[in-house]
Amino acid sequence: MPDAPEDDYVDHPIRSYVRTGGRARPTHRLTPATLLIGHTSPRATSVGRQEREVLSQCRGVISMAEMAAHLGQPVSVLAVIASDMIDAGLIGVRPDSDTAAGPSRETLQKVLHALNHL
């Protein structure tokens, strides 16, 4: 890939900046296909409205793209909020979801097998 990962989804930095209280880019690689998961007992912290909205969508395993669509926000904006929430221990990610290296051969074989039997 010619572009560095930090260029992803930050194409309207000004709007993101305003909506996310000053932070313009996420520290985690959170793509539309990244799977988020709520912790069963999130650390007790007082959270703001945006964080509460995210938590309300995190009662199971859900992709960034789905959450963004449900919340009516661009993925780029959600990525900044969710990234901070991961750092704060409020939500987690499935580490094997949408890795930068792409799916393994073994995973692709499973995908093909499943498609052939749909």
Partner 1 sequence: MLSTTSDGNHYLAPTVVESVKILVVGSFGVGKTTLIGSVSEIEPLRTEETITQASEGIDELEATPKKTTTTVAMDFGRITLTDEIALYLFGTPGQRRFWDLWSGLAEGAAGALVLVDTRRLADSFEVLDQLETRTSLPFVVAINQFPDAPSYEPDQIRTALDLDDETPIVVCNAKNRNACVRALATLVRHALKTR
3-class DSSP state for residue 93?
Answer: strand
| 98 contacts partner 1 (rule: CB under 8 A) | yes
86 binds partner 1 (CB under 8 A): no
Instruction: Give, as ranges, the residues between 19 and 78 that touch partner 1 (CB under 8 A).
Output: 31-35, 53, 56-57, 59-63, 65-66, 68-76
CA dihedral 46, 49, 51, 53 (to 10 degrees): 130
Quick one: 75 or 90, whose CB is closer to partner 1?
75
Do residues 75 and 32 make contact, with C-beta atoms less than 8 angstroms apart?
yes
Contacts of 69 (CB under 8 A, 6+ apart): none
Q: Which residues bind partner 1 (CB under 8 A)?
A: 1-3, 5, 7-9, 11-12, 14-15, 31-35, 53, 56-57, 59-63, 65-66, 68-76, 94, 96-103, 105, 107-112, 114-116, 118
